[in-house]
Chains A and B, each alone.
Chain A
């Protein structure tokens, strides 16, 4: 009799699980209840073009309206490869529909502490020619880029959502980050990371991600060549439709700024069947040898 009860309970559980999975599929949710935003995307609009930009000797073309970064179509250095993917959606029309660039403060003047802005402007001048290793941009060192890659680089992003997690894989330099949906507390402050420590939760169709524990080395963009260890970001990924995610990041770094600022952008889904190739970086890079020469043998 007791065994029979157990069997009934199991049968009921199976039916329940089955019914739940049908319901989930109908509402576009994953088995763990997460809204489904899995897929490969390209990102646009996140470039933090300031109202009073510094002179950037690394890429003086930034101020040139004809430079790749400023092209109206949003296409970057290698549009051919992904030309059939998300980029076709990234024309002027799509751009006009979405919030992009610095959205707070509205005048696009970042709230730099004056002494820190002066340091940053000097730092940029010291990057070309590079004064020392500290003044080489992180991308040239093949290290993890941090969250932002604050350029419209056209390297796709793949989002996967196993139960309780969101994983974002950057095509760039085989980078990935994992956003924990179940953990509530950040890692100990002694642990410092290029990609930071990310905790997330869903608010309706918006994934909200809180990240700390940065290592003080990652750039926001070429004009903002570093952020400090005190950096704290809040990112909001909002599912707009099957092909579009709106993105907004709040940068709070009290060491460098008197208050937070925000940049918006958006992700558009790549064509089905597009796969990433390996992006090896350290393995082939001659950048440091070319800049500094071969180091003396020990």
Chain B
């Protein structure tokens, strides 16, 4: 106990600028930053990942896309505009309660929980109890069917958690504004803890069938520091069925 107290005083005695980067981060037993906990984005990317003004039910927001441009190929841009026009019924996630895909799961207005162990990291999302298993230092699986949340593989680059995600289907959107991708989507996520309560989240998006070049989004993620905070349940499909089938069997 006395040793531990001495340890704290020793670090506290060093001026901030002299501390090595990451010195004050919470660390797991294996020495890596400890991401265990509940996190949430605090922005409007869920409505539109690009800059947008407010509308009824749409909070205004500054985008999360670097340079604010999503570099669509011409045909793909037309498809995005079509998606936008019918978004209230066609959005797979908000209108139909399907799994949100990556990176959309990260910036939906619901918390998520990172479960970190040395060999395997899991992210539990409150929305639709979406889940990602992220085996560390392993190879993408071959010959498995495409999926909604993709096949995630993690590795550490220094103190940054890098997750390579492939094997997506072409069914998810990036936001409610109809930004979309194909089954050639490849996402590289970088989670960098800036201080105990903030993560810098960066996602590089690559999809040669839809975009002219790779592009990137980035945003801070905030630790939910609320007292006794716990991940609860948002069972989207269950609530939607209660609405759709409330008069069933139909006469």
Contact = CB atoms under 8 A, between A and B. Distances in A.
Interface of A: 5-7, 9-10, 12-13, 16, 21, 30-32, 38, 130, 132-133, 141-144, 158, 160-163, 165, 167, 169, 173-176, 178, 180, 183, 187, 191, 193-195, 197, 275-278, 280, 282-283, 288, 291-293, 295-296
Contacts of B129: 144, 173-176
A133 B115 contact: no
Contacts of A180: 230
Interface in B155-207: 171
Contact of A295 (B128, B238, B248): B248
Interface stretch (B209-217, B218-226, B239-247): B239-247
Contact of A12 (B3, B29, B245): B3
Interface string B97-115: 1110000000000000101
Given A165-B115, A282-B98, 20 more contacts: A9-B2, A13-B3, A13-B6, A13-B7, A32-B29, A133-B242, A165-B36, A169-B131, A174-B99, A178-B113, A178-B124, A178-B231, A193-B232, A197-B230, A275-B133, A275-B141, A278-B149, A292-B245, A295-B244, A295-B250
> Which of B13, B129, B231, B246: most chain A Cβ within 10 A?
B129
Nearest to A185: B228
Contact of B145 (A16, A277, A296): A277
7 pairs of A and B residues whose beta carbons are closest in the complex: A9-B6, A31-B29, A292-B248, A282-B237, A278-B147, A174-B131, A6-B10
Contact of A162 (B117, B228, B249): B117
B144 interface: yes
Contacts of A10: 6-7, 10
> Which of A132, A173, A174: most chain B Cβ within 10 A?
A174
A169 B29 contact: no
A9 B98 contact: no
B9 interface: yes
A283 B115 contact: no
B15 to A, nearest CB: 14
Nearest to B115: A167
B130 interface: yes
Contact of A161 (B13, B117, B171): B117
Interface of B: 2-4, 6-7, 9-10, 13, 28-29, 36, 97-99, 113, 115-117, 120, 122, 124, 128-131, 133, 135, 141, 144-145, 147-149, 171, 228, 230-233, 235-238, 241-242, 244-250
Contacts of B29: 21, 30-32, 163
Nearest to B245: A133
18 contacts: A10-B7, A13-B6, A13-B7, A30-B29, A132-B249, A133-B242, A133-B248, A162-B115, A162-B116, A167-B115, A174-B131, A178-B231, A183-B228, A275-B135, A277-B147, A278-B148, A278-B149, A288-B248
A179 to B, nearest CB: 11
B99 A283 contact: yes
Nearest to B230: A187
A283 B10 CA distance: 54
> Which of B2, B122, B242, B248: most chain A Cβ within 10 A?
B248
B237 A176 contact: no
Contacts of B237: 141-143, 282
Given A160-B122, A176-B124, A292-B249, A144 B231 contact: no
A292 B250 contact: yes
A283 B98 contact: yes
Contacts of A144: 129, 233, 235
A68 B113 CA distance: 37
A280 B147 contact: yes
> Which of A10, A173, A278: most chain B Cβ within 10 A?
A278
Given A193-B233, A283-B98, A293 B250 contact: yes
A55 to B, nearest CB: 22
A162 B36 contact: yes
